């Protein structure tokens, strides 16, 4: 259990660091900031995302689930606002693109492991 949490944290940190090197508008100064951002993202996903998803359920239902992408972008942007050394160059557009690419890259890396 603890090993799985550490593995998810490390893979997410590596994914964030990789994304910061791509032209997506995501800037992370160093790998340590990526690890802190991964931890903050995990905490926000565990604590805040269920509340936001519950509140936005009618809107998510009306948009056939597409509003869930906006909720992910809000969580991503909030993590960038909370972590020093983690910035979004293009605001919510970077957050939307970053959250989408992070989920794809994480699934690819977990498939390799």
The pLDDT tens digits for 13-54 are 999 999 999 999 999 999 999 999 999 999 999 999 999 999
Average pLDDT over residues 69-93: 96
CA-wise closest residue to 74 among 103, 54, 48:
48
Please state, in angstroms and rounded to a whole number, the distance separating the CA atoms of residues 26 and 20.
5
Tell me the average pLDDT across 77-99. Answer: 96
Q: In whole angstroms, what is the distance from residue 48 CA to residue 76 CA?
A: 11
> CA separation (Å) from 36 to 53, 85, 112?
24, 10, 23
Does 91 have pLDDT greater than 90?
yes
Give the containing element (helix H, strand E) for 41: helix 31-47
Q: What is the pLDDT of residue 113?
A: 86
In this prediction, residue 84 carries a pLDDT of 96
Tokens of 26: 């995501």
pTM of whole model > 0.85?
A: yes
79: closest CA among 95, 59, 93?
A: 95
Sorted by where each begins, the domain ranges of the chain are 2-112
CA–CA gap between residue 53 and residue 34 (Å, rounded): 25
Check residue 1 and give its pLDDT.
Answer: 86
């Amino acid at each position: 259990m603890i090993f799985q949490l550490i593995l998810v944290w490390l893979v997410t940190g590596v994914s964030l660091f990789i994304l910061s090197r791509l032209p997506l508008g995501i800037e992370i100064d160093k790998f340590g900031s990526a690890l802190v951002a991964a931890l903050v993202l995990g905490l926000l996903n565990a604590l805040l995302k269920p509340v936001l998803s519950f509140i936005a359920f009618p809107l998510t239902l009306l948009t056939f689930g597409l509003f869930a992408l906006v909720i992910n972008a809000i969580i991503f942007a909030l993590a960038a606002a909370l972590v020093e050394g983690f910035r979004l160059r293009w605001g919510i557009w970077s957050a939307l693109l970053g959250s989408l690419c992070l989920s794809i890259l994480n699934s690819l890396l977990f498939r390799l492991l």
